[in-house]
Amino acid sequence: MSQPEEAKHDLAALDEFEGLVLADVTPKLEKWWFQYPHLLKLNLLLLCAFLAQFTCGFDGSMLNGMQSLPSWKAAFGNPEGAKLGTMVNAINIGVLVSVTFSSQLCEILGRKKPITIGTALITIGSALQAGAQSLGMFIAGRIIIGLGTGLVAVAAPQLMTEVAYPTHRGKIVSLYMTQWVVGYLIAAWTTFGTFKMDSSWSWRLPSLLQGVPSILQLVLSIFVPESPRWLVFKDRHEEATNVLAKYHAGGDHNSQLIRFEMLEIQATLEEEKKQKAIQWKEFIRTQGNRKRLWILLFIGYAAQLSGLGLTGYYLAKILDSIGITDPETQLLINAIAAIWQLCCSVFFAMLIDRFGRRGSITFGMTVMLLVFIIWTICSALNEQRNFTDHPLELAVVAMIFLFQVGYQPFAIATVPYVVECSLFSLRSKTAMIFQFCGYTASFFTSYVNPVAMDSIGWRYYIVACAILGFECAFAWWYLPETKGKGLEEIGEIFDGDELLTGTQAITKHYKEQHATDNLRERKTFAEHVEVTNND
């Protein structure tokens, strides 16, 4: 196709889509998504990313359960305080190491290859942890699991966000966080069952099961499609079109949806390239990116500083503090709590497009604050009465369950919110910063929580109340809503005229193409006049 013909072709496409948004050209599915072969295949392959949170949830519940297993305590010398914190934190150490280079891998290798590398490391680490013959070997296995977890945690949300079918993006990325709860649930009931095993297999079996989903992820990651946005950014436009056509339109390259998606992605990424938006300093250069950065840091730290560390890793200590010390009872509460968490997580994930990202976060934080206030009061009264008030014990257990009514809507909204708000050029760095914030906070609380619980008991909950109070105020005041917009269109909320994205970028491209075409026509006419005059 000649240059003038190519320009006319581009103008025809721009004329067709002028003033439209992604929702206008996305066809309404008349059947269930799994009745469409291309969508079924896409979503099955995306399990390689979707299951990423399973390892984290399994780990938290497994460590909770192991602290109630006599054989695990005997094998490692009944760890307490800093020693226990080191064992719990070993996975965080691995994550913090890998996230320092995870964004570079995602920018250079794409989204799928880091998942392959990460899941291979998790599989190796789980085997080493299960076969541990010493404390050092157990910790080494957990560090390797952390290395893999850090890579997968950065790459997986990006792959799902950038590859998922437009109307599936919100739910699939929100349901991604439910896998933390699925992992937690399976580990809770596994340790409850292995409690009756009078051997080291009571803790080796759960350790081994931690790596099973990673094997499935490893296989699927080989076949999952690469992000079309990454392909466009690398000027591999034909490959990107093929991916979108195959998985979003069943192979129809002429689909209106595919043509619009490609036009919007190309126009947006072209603007980002002009602004050199991939550099680290871009986070503070524009007002829109500064707002993104504040939101990123807030969500990243809030996810771990909202009380999750207490219920996620030290449930046994909380139950000890209110007089529930029987190991089997503790394991049963942990297992039942896991079922409740899963129900809450799936329920709120399915409502993410109705509640919105901001709505889910603000609702969740408000509920968590109220729960922790009541939790603190009940724990204080129970201590004053020398742990003899059974109704107060039950009230604290009830608060442990009600905490999930707040935490789950908050948790399922955090990943889609942070990833969607980011520019493509900064998305890998955004995912890296998000994981770094979360795991540094987790690293800190994993050491502080057991020491503080041993030292000041229920008074430590006052800190959680203060933090949640600040988080509620910030969330209600500062967070914008992003629901209902295409991935490239969300940038309009943050950037305005500073950096054109989505339909604004298409409009600019439209005007520039018209100007170029008019200039070309005037030049051609002038050349024709000059030739005529010479004749």
Residue 83 resides in a domain: yes
Dihedral of alpha carbons 515, 516, 517, 521, sign: positive
194 burial class (0-12, 13-18, 19+ CB within 10 angstroms)?
Answer: buried
Residue 109 resides in a domain: yes
Q: How confident is the model at residue 245 (pLDDT cuts 50, 70, 90)?
A: very high
DSSP letters spanning 49-73: HHTHHHHHHHHHHHHHHHTT-HHHH
Q: What is the mean pLDDT of residues 358-377?
A: 92
Task: Find which of 10-14, 141-145, 332-336, 386-390 is predicted with most confidence, using mean pLDDT.
Answer: 141-145
In whole numbers, what is the pLDDT of the chain averaged over residues? 81
| Of 383, 382, 395, 356, nearest in space to 475 by CA | 356
Residue 35 resides in a domain: no
Residue 210 has pLDDT above 90, yes or no: no
φ, ψ for residue 277 (rounded to 5)?
A: -75, 0
pLDDT digits (tens, 9 = 90+) for 281-298: 888 888 888 999 999 999
Q: N- to C-terminal Cα distance for the chain?
A: 31
Which residues have a Cβ under 8 Å from the Cβ of 282 and sit 6 or more positions away? 275, 276, 289, 423, 425, 426
pLDDT digits (tens, 9 = 90+) for 301-315: 987 887 776 665 567
Q: What is the mean pLDDT of residues 409-430?
A: 86
Q: How confident is the model at residue 115 (pLDDT cuts 50, 70, 90)?
A: very high
Residue 107 has pLDDT above 70, yes or no: yes
CATH number assigned to the domain comprising residue 88: 1.20.1250.20
| Of 183, 262, 251, nearest in space to 217 by CA | 183
Inter-helix orientation angle 201-209/52-66, to 10°: 170
Q: What is the pLDDT of residue 529?
A: 47
Q: What is the pLDDT of residue 3?
A: 44
Residue 318 resides in a domain: yes
Residue 271 has pLDDT above 60, yes or no: yes
Distances from the Cα of 330 to the Cαs of 14, 153, 185, 397, 413, in angstroms?
63, 30, 14, 11, 30
Point out the least confidently predicted range of 91-100, 488-497, 505-514. 505-514
Q: How confident is the model at residue 370 (pLDDT cuts 50, 70, 90)?
A: very high
User: 10 Å Cβ neighbour count for 385?
Assistant: 10
Q: What is the pLDDT of residue 14?
A: 59
Residue 525 has pLDDT above 50, yes or no: no
Q: What is the mean pLDDT of residues 446-466?
A: 80
Q: What is the pLDDT of residue 1?
A: 46
Residue 71 has pLDDT above 90, yes or no: no
Tell me the C-alpha distance between 341 and 329, whole Å: 18
Q: What is the pLDDT of residue 175?
A: 86
- pTM of the full structure: 0.76
Residue 499 resides in a domain: no
Quote the percentage of the chain above a pLDDT of 90.
Answer: 24
| Of 325, 340, 297, nearest in space to 478 by CA | 297
Point out the least confidently predicted range of 290-299, 454-463, 465-474. 454-463
Q: Count the domains in the chain.
A: 1
Tell me the C-alpha distance between 57 and 180, whole Å: 4
Tell me the C-alpha distance between 233 and 84, whole Å: 45
Point out the least confidently predicted range of 16-30, 125-139, 308-322, 476-490. 308-322
pLDDT digits (tens, 9 = 90+) for 133-146: 888 888 899 899 99
The DSSP call for residue 249 is S
Residue 424 has pLDDT above 60, yes or no: yes
Tell me the C-alpha distance between 226 and 309, whole Å: 34
Residue 18 has pLDDT above 80, yes or no: no
Residue 264 resides in a domain: no
- Is residue 482 a contact partner of residue 493, using CB atoms and an 8 Å limit? yes
Residue 274 resides in a domain: no
Residue 248 resides in a domain: no
pLDDT digits (tens, 9 = 90+) for 476-503: 999 998 887 777 778 778 876 655 555 5
Q: How many CA atoms lie within 13 A of 151 on its CB side?
A: 27
Q: What is the mean pLDDT of residues 340-345?
A: 86
Residue 21 has pLDDT above 70, yes or no: yes
Tell me the C-alpha distance between 252 and 327, whole Å: 59
Structure tokens at 375: 């939790």
CA 117, 416, 339 angle in degrees (round to 5)?
A: 85
Quote the percentage of the chain above a pLDDT of 70.
Answer: 86
Residue 140 sits in which domain range? 52-224+285-488
Q: How confident is the model at residue 227 (pLDDT cuts 50, 70, 90)?
A: very high
- Is residue 416 a contact partner of residue 174, using CB atoms and an 8 Å limit? yes
